[in-house]
Amino acid sequence: MAFNSLQFAIYLPTVCILYFILPVKYRNYWLLAASYYFYMSWNVKYVFLILFTTLTSYLAGRLLGRTTGEGRRKAILTAGIIASVASLFVFKYANFVIGNINLVMESLHATGRIPVLNVLLPVGISFYTFQTLSYVIDVYRGKLPDEKDFFVYALYVSFFPQLVAGPIERATNLLPQFREVHRFDTARCSDGLRRILVGLFKKIVIADYFAIYVNEVYSRMRELNGTAVMFATFLFAIQIYCDFSAYSDIAIGSALILGFRLMENFRSPYLSDSFSEFWKRWHISLSTWLQDYIFVPLVWSRWWDKLFNRHTIDGKKPAVLPNLIIVFLISGIWHGAGWTFIVWGLLHGIYRVIEETVIPKKWKKRKNKKKAVLWLEVGLVFVMNCFSLIFFRADTIGDALYAVSRIVRDFDPVHLMTYMQPAGLEEYGQLLWIILLVAVLFLWDLLNYRGEGFEKLSSFRPVLRYAVYYALGLAVVWRIFTSMSDIVIEFIYFQF
């Protein structure tokens, strides 16, 4: 059941109405049942997987809450982490590892092959696995007490708005909210619906429209000119941003109607003037998770310090360059079991290392820059990100390298329409529509740069404010009824 489907348009109001009608003591049970129904709408049998991950992490938390010896606590923590990661490995990475082992054996002319596993990737497994890992680690660190109510904990893991594609919530934020009494609030409901509307506009009007050209070009890359590949890559950068941030908007809006506050996941990332800032604005729930549970422990690890952190940067802090590379490699692996994702993560790690070692500290402060320099840096970060996204979008490393070579050899923006015609961009009206959509997104990101976009819209005159929302709504309806396909295009991050 996708957020952009008719089923969800019926499901969400039903869940919300019954939630506020039911007595308070039954509401969490209702949300838990509704969340499991939401998850099982994709594949019923994988409900046992989320149950297994929920149960093992819950038991690990309970044991940590009862155990005092540090050695035993570390053993329980390790067992809890292994139980969650093992499921993720089997379903997401096992065939990738097996395939590469088989390739090595083939190159060595060795006999015998390891059979691949006949499994499908369960939706949302990377998201709820990281959510259970953070809970177990936080209980071990003493940041929160172990959750004693299994049903409340199961709801934390499976809460339907953010179950499939985030945000990756923390137990310290979400668990206490299940013990609060939420009453229906008209203003809060309106805020949630507006957030959902913006998300639907990003997904249906922008992301799904751009996907038409992106998919066509990348499926026929070797037949098309480098100009078409470059333009499709630019469109993919907008597509993946709108697609993923749309899911977060709808998730946050849906939870808000019910009275729950989810963390922000995107905040105008393409207006960043550095990759350090970019990762503070892009997929915030993942980047902060990696910082808190991978990067910081590596920085302060004694044995790791002996290996890498002997020197310092600016004479003040431990050298973090190897840690940055490792964190972004993990980010790439988290996104997908393939060498293309690993290269994508490695590129972003290299970008961050370059920033830490080459750019003087005084140049990093945004307020000290002239506007021309600032926008030049914003453009450079965007172009470098587009380059990395070639590897993210391509099916293989060979395809990605071929795309890069074609762009270098054949890039000719003057004749864009000529090269994009085979991909379906045949009229200047289509190009103008793309430019208009990019302009609308750019204006929204400017307005929302500090995360106050909806508050600023609320300060507009009523006529202007309602005109904006009606225009967004009409655009969504128009795209739905003019689309040539009845198939709901899934969110990109469902595959992760």
Do 490 and 410 belong to one domain? yes
Spatial CB neighbours of 4, under 8 Å, sequence gap ≥ 6: 200, 203, 204, 488, 489, 491
Helix (H), strand (E), coil (C) string for 315-338: CCEECCHHHHHHHHHHHHHHHCCC
Query: Is 62 part of a structural domain of the chain?
Result: yes
Do 105 and 142 belong to one domain? yes
Question: Average pLDDT for residues 440-468, to the nearest whole number?
Answer: 88
Give residue-wise pLDDT tens across range 55-101: 999 999 999 988 888 889 999 999 999 998 998 888 888 888 888 88
Paired tokens of 77: 């923590």
Does residue 147 have a pLDDT over 70? yes
Amino acid in position 247: Y
Question: Average pLDDT for residues 162-186, to the nearest whole number?
Answer: 91
Do 194 and 171 belong to one domain? no
Higher-scoring residue by pLDDT: 130, 322: 130
Paired tokens of 163: 């179950």
Residues 360 and 348 sit within 8 Å (Cβ to Cβ): no
Do 171 and 197 belong to one domain? no
Do 343 and 476 belong to one domain? yes
Using the 3D structure, point to which of 182, 206, 235 is the last residue of a domain.
182
Do 465 and 480 belong to one domain? yes
Do 439 and 335 belong to one domain? yes
Do 398 and 454 belong to one domain? yes
Determine the Cα–Cα distance for residues 156 and 28; give it in Å rounded to an integer: 10
161: preceding bond cis by omega (within 30 degrees) = no
Produce one character per residue of 97-112: b if its CB has 16 or more CB atoms within 10 Å, e if not.
eeeeebeeeeeeeeee
Using the 3D structure, point to which of 138, 160, 182 is the last residue of a domain.
182
Number of domains in the chain: 2
Query: Is 250 part of a structural domain of the chain?
Result: yes
What contacts 24+ positions apart, CB below 8 Å, involve 418-421?
A: 419/224, 419/225, 419/227, 419/228, 419/231, 420/213, 420/227, 420/228, 420/231
* Residue 305 banded pLDDT, cuts 50, 70, 90: low
Query: Is 306 part of a structural domain of the chain?
Result: yes
Percent of the chain at pLDDT exceeding 90: 53
Do 131 and 252 belong to one domain? no
Question: Average pLDDT for residues 23-41, to the nearest whole number?
Answer: 93
Residues 420 and 434 sit within 8 Å (Cβ to Cβ): no
The secondary structure of 135-159 as a DSSP string is HHHHHHHTSSPPP--HHHHHHHHH-
The pLDDT of residue 349 is: 93
Give residue-wise pLDDT tens across range 190-237: 999 999 999 999 999 999 999 988 988 898 888 888 888 998 999 999
> Residues 109, 283, 335, 415: which is the catalytic one?
335
Do 250 and 192 belong to one domain? yes
415 is known as an active-site residue: no
The pLDDT of residue 225 is: 84
Q: For residue 331, what are the CA distances in angstroms to 10, 65, 234, 263, 336?
A: 35, 30, 22, 19, 9
Tell me the residue range of the domain where 301 lies: 188-495
Query: Is 1 part of a structural domain of the chain?
Result: no
Question: Average pLDDT for residues 422-433, to the nearest whole number?
Answer: 84
Determine the Cα–Cα distance for residues 371 and 382; give it in Å rounded to an integer: 16
Using the 3D structure, point to which of 132, 153, 182 is the last residue of a domain.
182
Do 119 and 208 belong to one domain? no
Identify the H or E element spanning 127.
Answer: helix 125-141
Query: Is 301 part of a structural domain of the chain?
Result: yes
DSSP 203: I
Tokens 């100009």 appear where?
227
Paired tokens of 269: 């990332």
Do 282 and 196 belong to one domain? yes
Paired tokens of 285: 């729930």
Paired tokens of 362: 């005084």
Give residue-wise pLDDT tens across range 274-290: 999 999 999 999 999 99
Closest by alpha carbon to 175, among 55, 28, 310, 371? 28
* Residue 345 banded pLDDT, cuts 50, 70, 90: very high
